[in-house]
Structure 1
Amino acid sequence: MTNTALAGASAPAAGIAPGLYPDLPIETYHGDRLSLSSSGARSLLAPSCPARFRYEQDHPQPSKKTFDLGNAAHKLVLGEGPDLVVIEADRWDTKAAKAAVADARAAGAVPLKRGEFDQVHAMAEAIRQHPVASALFAPGSGRPEVSVFWDDERSGVRRRARFDWLPDPRAGRLIIPDYKTCRSAEPGALAKATHEYGYHQQADWYRAAARGGFIDADAAFVFVCQEKSAPYLVTVFEPDMTALRIGAAKNRRAIETYAACTESGYWPGYTDEIAYLSLPPWAEIRDAEEYL
């Protein structure tokens, strides 16, 4: 059965050509509808589905307050991004504060409370004090926000990535860092986050971007994760080879799914069949003991 509401979703006639783009505006990067990003690949697979991916592409959401702190920290750590504007108000639910916030967003800036502004500056200082993170993001050692577009050899799908920081060529293996804010930078918590958010898929995707963009065929990709509460602890990690192999396999499935849906114009939901479901294992064990 064809989902007519999602069949034949519209797309622009042309996309961005393969290549390296150091100065591509972020809106242009996200607005390209004929290429697949790492986050898009992840949204094609369970627990999401192609129909949700297509809907989100057709109905982009405005920036949310929950993203402001991370965006502001990125700006200070990477040295590039939207302006930060302090809204000097104790409450943001007043007419004047709401107007100031709206004006800041309309100008492409990130509105922050005074405490948040001080917080992100303290976070950036903690990055500068970390022996590994400070070296990875050393000013003058690379360029922030570099986009790359390339064609997947097996499927022909155009892929894209946007490096937080692309280091300049140097002796030895190139290490490409990606900055993330988090609730906990404890390694066990980050292992769970890697599974939940697909960081192993992102790592494989961005290593492929380095190859596809003729940057470095053997580049390493690491995550610089920083807690959002004092003392703003930092952990730098790289997914192990097993995680990267799983990430690569999931990315391949997503690419092939995207290619098939693009060709057919049909973006299926979770299932087109009647689902036959059991209780969650924990509930089945608990209730079986009581009722059976």
Structure 2
Amino acid sequence: MKREFIPGIVHGLNIDEYHAMPAISKSGLDSIDLSPAIYYARHLDPNRPPSREKSGQLEGHLAHCAILEPEEFEKRYVIGPTLNRNTKEWKAFVAANPERIAIQHDQYEAAIRQAASVRALPEIGDVLASGQPEVSAFWVDEETGAECRCRPDFVHDATSDSVILLDVKTFSDPSPNEFARQCGRKAYAKQAALYTDGYEKASGKTVRGFIFLAVGNEWPYAAAAMMLDEDSLEAGRRHYKRNLRTYAECVKTNTWPGFSDGITLIRLPQWALTNEE
């Protein structure tokens, strides 16, 4: 049974229950950005296959838990023997621990070092010392009437009427210059703007900042805290609003168009043309 959509803030909502909500999220808007047909296929089609865990997804979950909910780590995960995961011994260990996810020692070490690296950042340790992880926010977009949702990794209560939102990202290169490029490739400005605007609507509180915590997934697990400037946030805001308008029109007409049915003339990007010259 799906949870009824009610605008506001919900603490302690099960992640599966959150994902089952029909309201549009940032990942849904990313699919809309590709094409409404792709959004429908991934999020609405009753015949869609079950989602599969992507490479590195478990390691990302481990980092999030160690950084944001360290007291939950041993409740969710259990460290197994250093064995190949295809061996009978490993499978037997997994079967003997059905209530927790079996991980190996190197995965545990990486997550603990990532958490230590993030918490060593001078301005971040204090922020993480007070607040709540995985807070779910629901609101109705005023322009389109679309039901929306977001789930910040961590919410820090800065004052009685303002908060700071944090989001953890793991990368092979967490340097600010590379992260800026990742923001462009993965539409993180759209996420920051959507979460900022949406959380304010859902909570009635001011969002004083949206901080990205980027941490390396390889030794030495370097970490950096970053915020987007106002121009970048405004670009992200325009991006999510454009996606929302497309989504709302598709819902209204119940049509989910894909790419062009005809043959599209395309052009190499400028850098590729320059290289050939």
TM-score, scaled to structure 1? 0.83
Give me the whole-angstrom Cα distance separating, in 1, the residues matched to 2:268 and 2:126. 50
Gap runs ≥5 in structure 2 = none
| Matches of 2:30 and 2:215, distance apart in 1 | 23
- TM-score (normalised: structure 2): 0.88
State the 1:116 CA deviation: 1.0
Deviation per residue, 1:45-64 (Å, 9 max, x gap):
1xx22222222214341334
Change (3 A) 1:113 1:218: closer
Q: Does 1:36 align with 2:27?
A: no
Q: CA deviation at 1:166?
A: 1.2
Task: Describe how 1:64-79 pairs up with structure 2 within 5 A.
Answer: 64-79=54-69
Q: Quote the offset at 1:275 in angstroms.
A: 1.0
Deviation at 1:196, TM superposition (A): 0.8
Pair 1:115 & 2:106 matched:
yes
Q: CA RMSD of the aligned region, Å?
A: 2.5
1:259 matched to 2:248: yes
| 1:94 matched residue in structure 2 | 87
Q: Which residue of 2 aligns with 1:129?
A: 120
By how many angstroms is 1:144 displaced? 1.0
Q: Map residues 12-51 of structure 1 onto 2, 5 A cutoff.
A: 15-33=4-22, 35-45=23-33, 48-51=34-37
For 1:83, the equivalent position in structure 2 comes to: 76
Q: Percent identity at matched positions?
A: 29
What is aligned with 1:142? 131
Alpha-carbon shift at residue 41 of structure 1 (Å):
1.0
* Partner Cα separation in structure 2 for residue 121 and residue 283 of structure 1: 42
The answer as to whether partners of 2:8 and 2:139 remain within 8 angstroms in 1 is: yes
**CA drift at 1:67:** 0.5
Structure 1: 5+ residue stretches without partners: 1-11
Query: Which amino acid in structure 2 is aligned with residue 78 of structure 1?
Result: L
State how far apart, in whole Å, the 2-side matches of 1:122 and 1:214 are. Answer: 34
Does structure 1 residue 56 correspond to structure 2 residue 45? no
Conserved 8 A contact 1:226-1:234? yes
Residue in structure 2 matched with residue 249 of structure 1 by the alignment: 238
- Report the equivalent of 1:158: 147
Task: Select the residue among 180, 189, 196 that pairs with 1:207.
Answer: 196
In the alignment, which residue of structure 1 is the partner of 2:229? 240
Question: What is the CA-CA distance between 1:86 and the residue it aligns to?
Answer: 1.8
Q: Counterpart of 2:187?
A: 198
**Stretch moving more, 224-233 or 185-194:** 224-233
- Provide closer, same or farther for how the CA distance between residues 129 and 36 of structure 1 changes in structure 2, counting only shifts above 3 A: same
Q: For each residue in 1:77-118, what CA deviation from the matched residue of structure 2 results, as whole angstroms up to 9, or x when unmatched? A: 1115771122313211223424545776x64x4432111111
Contact kept, 8 Å, 1:136 with 1:177, in 2: the verdict is no
Q: What residue number does 1:7 align with?
A: none
The 8 Å contact of residues 68 and 112 in structure 1, kept in 2 or not, is answered as no
